[in-house]
Amino acid sequence: MANPNLVFCHGLAAALADLGVEHACVSPGSRNTPLIAGFAGEPRIRKWPILDERSAGFFGIGLARATGKPVAVICTSGSAAAEYHPAVIEARQSDAPLLVLTADRPPELRGVGAAQTIDQIALYGSSPVLFVDAPPPDDSTTAQDGVALATRVVAAARAESGPVHMNLPFREPLLGVGSISGPAPVTPPPTQEPPSPDLGRVARRLDGRRGLIVVGRSNDPGLPTAVDALAKATGAPVIADPLSGLRYGATSDLVLACGDALATAGLLDELVPDYVIRLGHIPTSKSVWGWLERNPQVLQVLAGTAGQDATRSASELVPHTSRTVATALAAAIESATSEQWARSWLTADRIAAQAISESVDHLPFPNEPAIARLVMNHASNGASITLGSSMPIRDVDTFGGKNQRNLRVFGNRGTNGIDGVASAATGAAAAGVQSIALLGDVSMFHDLNILGTAAQLDLPITYVVINNDGGGIFHFLPQAQPELLDPAVFETYLGTPHGTDFVAVARALGIAAERIERGEDLAAALQTEPSGPGLYELRTDRSANLAAHRSAAAAVEAALRS
C-alpha cells in the first residue's frame, strides 16, 4: 500500500505544476521529506536546494517577482519554519505570491514536549492571505486531497497577490514504498477582470485642471502603458518611484527624471498642482510623500492600495488596481490642462538633471551617487536590478535619472528591511536573467549565507556592495546630531563599523570578487555578461556621502533659482 504522506505530496506537487508553479526552494530537514520526495518526482517544477530558510524565503520572493508566478518554499518543522517569517512579511507588504509549505508534527505531538515541535498554527500572524492547517494524511487520503489544497492556495495567492501558508503535519513512517499514480490534470480557475470603475465623477473634478501623477512601487508590467495614456489625457507630469516600472525602458515623455530632487528643492510649493493622482504604494521619496501628507487640501486621488492611505491625506480612495484606474480616468478625462503646465515641470527637470550631473562629476570616485548612476546607466539591457532598502534605493531615486534601457527594478520596500536583499536578487537570477544587487555593506553582512548558495548553483548574479563600514542612512537622521546623541554612542550602535572585507569573504565562499576604485572599471564589469556569480566591492565614506547629497541638493536649488 502506498504511503499516505507520499500520495498526498505527489498529488500536491503535480497539481501545483498544473496550476503554473515552476519553482520551489527546498531546505533540508527530516519532517519535510515527504514534501521533498513529492516535489523531486515532479519534473515540471525546478527545485532550488538552499540551506538557510531565511535566505530561501527571500530567494523565493525574488523568483516570484522575476517570473510573475507563485513560488513554493519548503522547510521542516520547528524553528526552521520561523526563519521564513521576515520573508512572509515582505511578501505580504510587496504583493509577492509566495507559497509557504511548512512540515509539522501531527496534532497528538503538539504541546507535549515532543522534539523539534513548536506551535506553527498561524505562525506568521495576519501576514498570509490564507492559512491552512491541513489534516495529517492517513489511509483515506488520495492524491485528490493534494489537488484540492493546491487549487485553493494558488487561487488565493493570485487573487490577493500575497503569501499563503500551508502547515502540513506528517505522521511516521514519513516514507514508504509503493507506486503513486498521478492525479488528473487541474484546470486553473478562470481569471476574471474586475469591471471598469465608473470614474466620471472623479474625472469631472480633474478636467482641465493642473495635475500631477505620483506612481509608487508596482509589480504590474502593464502599468507604464496605462500611465502614459493618463499623462497624455491630463497633460500631467509624472513623478515615478524607481520601483514603479516607469523610469527605465520605454518611458513616457512626461515621466520626470528628478522628481525627488525637485520636491526636495521645494518645486511642489512653487508649481502647486490642483490635484494629484496617486497610483501604487507610497513612494520612496520622503520629500514627495511628506508634501502630500502636509497638503491634504490638494485633491488627492489614491488607487492601487486596497484603501490604505499612508499619508492620511487622500480625498478620493478608489478601490481598484492602479492600471484599472489609470485606464478608466484616461478614457473619462475630456480636456487636458495647458501645455505650459507640463512644460514648466519638464524644464525644471532638465535643469535639475544637469545640476545633479555636474555636482556628482566633481566628486572623487568611488562615491555613492556616482555608483547609483553607473549601475542604472551601464547595466546590460534586460537585466534585473534589486536595490538595497536604505541608501541604494534613495541614491537611485535621486541620482539614477531615467533612460531607455529595458531594466526591471526590484526592492524589498514592502517592509523596507535590509535583510534578504541579496537573497531576493539571487532569486531573480534563478529566473534565468542577469541579475544585479546594488546594496550596502550592512545588507550584505546580514545575508552572507546566500553567497555560498549562489556559488553552488552558479547563478548569473552580480553583487555591487557599497562598503562605507556601517549604517550610512543614519547620518541623514536627527539622531546623528551630537546635541541629541553622544557621537560615541551613535557610532557604536548606529554607525556600527564592522571592518568586513567582502572580497575576502566572497572568495572564501567560492565567488569571484574584486575591489573597484575607478568608475570605468565598474561600467565595464556591469556590461560584461557574467558566467557565474561575482561580487564587486566599492569603499566609500559615510560622512562624505552625506556631504555629497547635501551638495547636490544645494546645486539643484541654486540652478532652479538662477
370 and 290 belong to one structural domain = no
pLDDT at site 178: 43
Spell out the residues 6+ positions from residue 58 whose beta carbon is closer than 8 angstroms to its own: 86, 87, 90, 412, 419, 420, 421, 423, 424, 427, 447
80 and 210 belong to one structural domain = no
Report the CATH number at residue 226.
3.40.50.1220
Tell me what the mean pLDDT of segment 34-38 comes to.
Answer: 92
* Band of pLDDT at residue 130, cut at 50, 70 and 90: very high
Residue with cell 503569501: 163
* Band of pLDDT at residue 175, cut at 50, 70 and 90: confident
3-state DSSP call for residue 33? helix
266 and 380 belong to one structural domain = no
pLDDT at 30 over 50: yes
Residue 159 lies in a domain: yes
Q: Is the four-CA dihedral 327, 329, 330, 332 of positive or negative sign?
A: positive
Give the angle 362-366-372 at the CA atoms, nearest 5°: 90
Most distant CA pair in the chain, distance: 84
pLDDT at site 467: 97
Q: State pLDDT tens for residues 219-250.
A: 899 999 999 999 999 999 999 999 999 999 98
Please give the Cα distance from 473 to 507 (Å, whole number): 28
Cα–Cα distances (Å) from 28 to 78, 450, 456, 458, in that order, read: 13, 15, 15, 20
239 and 278 belong to one structural domain = yes
Indicate left, alpha or beta for 299 from its phi (over 0: left) and psi (-120 to 50: alpha).
Answer: beta
Residue with cell 493534494: 146
pLDDT at site 185: 47
Cα–Cα distances (Å) from 231 to 300, 331, 335, in that order, read: 16, 11, 12
User: Which of 443, 315, 322, 464 shows the shortest CA–CA distance to 379?
Assistant: 464
339 and 224 belong to one structural domain = yes
Residue 414 lies in a domain: yes
Give the count of beta carbons closer than 10 Å to the beta carbon of residue 6: 26
326 and 379 belong to one structural domain = no
pLDDT at site 176: 75
Instruction: Please tell me what DSSP assigns to residue 529.
Output: P
322 and 420 belong to one structural domain = no
235 and 261 belong to one structural domain = yes
b vs e for 277-289, b when ≥16 Cβ sit within 10 Å of the residue's Cβ?
Answer: bbbbbbbbbbbbb
Inter-residue contact 304 to 176 (CB < 8 Å): no
Instruction: Please state, for a pLDDT cut of 70, what percent of the chain lies above it.
Output: 96
User: Which of 206, 186, 190 shows the shortest CA–CA distance to 300?
Assistant: 206
Residue 179 lies in a domain: no
Q: State pLDDT tens for residues 459-518.
A: 999 999 999 999 998 899 888 888 888 889 888 888 888 999 999 999 999 999 999 999
Residue 396 lies in a domain: yes
| Residue that is last in its domain, among 169, 190, 218 | 169
Tell me what the mean pLDDT of segment 323-331 comes to.
Answer: 95
Please give the Cα distance from 127 to 147 (Å, whole number): 24
Which region among 84-88, 187-191, 292-296, 397-401 has the lowest average model confidence (pLDDT)? 187-191
73 and 138 belong to one structural domain = yes
Cα–Cα distances (Å) from 219 to 68, 253, 304, 346, 354, in that order, read: 8, 21, 11, 26, 30
Tell me what the mean pLDDT of segment 281-295 comes to.
Answer: 94
Q: Domain of 328?
A: 200-349
pLDDT at site 189: 55
Please give the Cα distance from 425 to 386 (Å, whole number): 5
Q: State pLDDT tens for residues 53-70.
A: 999 999 999 999 999 999
320 and 374 belong to one structural domain = no
Instruction: Please state, for a pLDDT cut of 90, what percent of the chain lies above it.
Output: 78
Q: Strand 211-215 to strand 534-539: parallel, antiparallel, or no bridges (unpaired)?
A: unpaired
Instruction: Please tell me what DSSP assigns to residue 366.
Output: S
3-state DSSP call for residue 206? helix
The mean pLDDT of the chain is 92
Please give the Cα distance from 530 to 23 (Å, whole number): 22
144 and 65 belong to one structural domain = yes
Which region among 97-106, 406-415, 516-525 has the lowest average model confidence (pLDDT)? 406-415
Inter-residue contact 447 to 421 (CB < 8 Å): yes
pLDDT at 116 over 80: no
pLDDT at 51 over 50: yes
Q: Which amino acid is at 290?
A: G
Please give the Cα distance from 289 to 284 (Å, whole number): 8
| Residue that is last in its domain, among 300, 321, 349 | 349
Count structural domains, the chain.
3
* Torsion angles phi and psi, residue 326, rounded to 5: -60, -45
Q: Is the four-CA dihedral 216, 462, 431, 89 of positive or negative sign?
A: negative
Report the CATH number at residue 409.
3.40.50.970
Angle between helices 368-378 and 339-361 in degrees, nearest 10:
120
Residue 418 lies in a domain: yes
Please report, to the nearest 10 degrees, the dihedral formed by the alpha carbons of residues 422, 427, 431, 437 taken in order.
-10
130 and 271 belong to one structural domain = no
| 277: Cα within 13 Å, side-chain hemisphere | 31
Residue 185 lies in a domain: no
Inter-residue contact 217 to 411 (CB < 8 Å): yes
| Residue that is last in its domain, among 288, 323, 349 | 349
Residue 189 lies in a domain: no
Residue 192 lies in a domain: no
Q: State pLDDT tens for residues 392-442.
A: 999 999 999 999 999 999 998 887 777 789 999 999 999 988 899 999 999
* Band of pLDDT at residue 180, cut at 50, 70 and 90: very low
